[in-house]
Amino acid sequence: MENKQQEHVHLLIIGSGPAGYTAAIYASRANLKPVLYQGIQPGGQLTITTEVENYPGYPEGIQGPEMMVDFEKQATRMGADIRYGLATSVDFSKQPYKVTIDEEKEITADAIIIATGASAKWLGLPSEQRLNGSGVSACAVCDGFFFRGKEVAIVGAGDTAAEEALYLSKMCSTVHMLVRKHEMRASKVMQDRVLKTSNIIVYWNSETDEVLGDKKVEAVRIRNNQTGEKKDVAVSAFFVAIGHQPNSAIFKEYLQLDEQDYIVTVPGTSRTSIEGVFACGDVQDKIYRQAVTAAGSGCMAALDAERYLSAKEHQ
């Protein structure tokens, strides 16, 4: 495409969940005049979450989308330039770094903060999407609390699934764990803990046929992939714990990623393998993945960017 629109900015923030918006708040207050592009899902994963009860400062809890509107308003009030648009390609081979928005506008920036997040992997069932937020969740730590004393199901076989099943077992009456093969991928110690927990029932060689319920989750239909036998198990929630995919594909050519495609940052900082490019939130955090930790890392990225830009100006 010839004649792309061009613009130069001091600090560009890519992504708009708790990490991106917090970075924008801090960067604005440091007079860095940040420009933030919201990406494909303005507000990030929290916009598909219902009640958020574990974010400090909201004693009554708050709806995820409403919380992200609050974050955006605060960033705007501080002076951040927030825009619709998706970063479709980057060129970090030389400074100033280039980012193409919606394949048509080219932005150059003195520093960049990446806050593109991660997307939960889903099974791809229509019923799973239809009941998402009405008992279907990809985060047991976020939503398990709402199903205290109830029976729930979880699908997955890795360490995350095992951790989440154990977490749920402490507050739910029974946890029905669906494992696709005859064994788990989780580490031996995690498997042992799951198998020793009396209120976790493991279904081996089992897949989810359908999540049942009209307005909310009422049951899950489990299919044994060896025998073909199906059975319905009454549950109030269905947790999908088959992993997350960090939204890092466009950076792959330039930045160091780990084996799961999370952006690698220098421990204790938001610095990436390229000077002047910072990463925060779930695109670089595969351990905690909470709104509050994402916001904290957004603050770190803005402070790191501010120090970097200030040092550059005084060279």
Residue type at 29 in one-letter notation: R
Say which residues have a Cβ less than 8 Å from residue 193's Cβ, sequence separation at least 6: 162, 166
Angle, helix 18-29 to helix 291-313, in steps of 10 degrees: 40
Where residue 69 falls (left for φ over 0; alpha for ψ -120 to 50; beta otherwise) is alpha
First CA to last CA distance, the chain: 37
Choose the catalytic residue: 139, 159, 209, 261.
Answer: 139
Per-residue tokens: 49: 């979450």
Token couple for 303? 């402070």
Classified as helix, coil or strand, 82 is strand
Instruction: Report the phi/psi class of residue 204: left, alpha or beta, with left for phi > 0 and alpha for psi in -120 to 50.
Output: beta
d(CA 252, CA 199): 42
Q: Which among 110, 143, 285, 304 is annotated as catalytic?
A: 143
Nearest Cα residue to 160 out of 258, 239, 245, 241? 241
CA dist., res. 309 & res. 300, Å (int): 14
Chain centroid offset of residue 60 CA: 23
Please report, as a single letter, which amino acid is at residue 303: L
Is 299 assigned a catalytic role? no
Alpha-carbon distance of 124 to 215, in angstroms, equals 19
Does the annotation mark 172 as catalytic?
A: no
Phi, psi of 221 (to 5 degrees): -95, 115
Pairing between β-strand 118-120 and β-strand 219-224 as defined by DSSP bridges: unpaired
Asked about 304 being catalytic, the answer comes back as no
Return the active site residues.
Answer: 139, 142-143
